[in-house]
Amino acid sequence: MTVTETMAAAGERADLCSPRPPVHPRPDGQDHYTISEVVALTGLTAHTLRWYERIGLMPHVDRSHTGQRRYRNRDLDWLDLVGKLRLTGMPVSDMVRYAELVRAGEGTFAERRDLLETTRRDVLARIAELQDTLAVLDHKISIYADTGRMPERVTGT
């Protein structure tokens, strides 16, 4: 059974590669969040949010008249994407480069696509490795399920 089949059997989304719309809370149409609210909504730390801003990963964050950061829904969408890129294993330097390209505008579409396609290939390779690993685990589990114990002729595996 593959990862996709396992997920489908468990009632989860089976199409791992289809895009999904950004999901973030928008309580009562709210579009301004303090750093502590973003921490609560995203699970990131305030330190991480400030670091993202400092290294250029987080686009310009609005400030209130007193200098407090005021995040918007577009910022939450961006943080969702950054979280997905982190899960791919994309190096931070590549994420920062991608952010720079986004800020540079439409003339960078080809370079952005290349960066994302490279990451996609890496993710697909990792998925294939995990599917092979899952097949080995499923095989081992079926041996235990069928016999209730490991056959004596097979040891150490």
Write the DSSP assignment of 44-101 as a string of letters.
Answer: --HHHHHHHHHHT-SPPPEE-TTS-EEB-HHHHHHHHHHHHHHHHT--HHHHHHHHHH
Task: Please write the tens of the pLDDT for every residue from 23-71.
Answer: 555 566 678 899 999 999 999 999 999 999 999 999 789 999 999 999 9
Residues 46, 39 contacting (CB under 8 angstroms): yes
Burial label for 42, CB within 10 Å (0-12, 13-18, 19+), is: buried
Confidence of residue 16 (pLDDT cuts 50, 70, 90): very low
Tell whether pTM > 0.95.
no
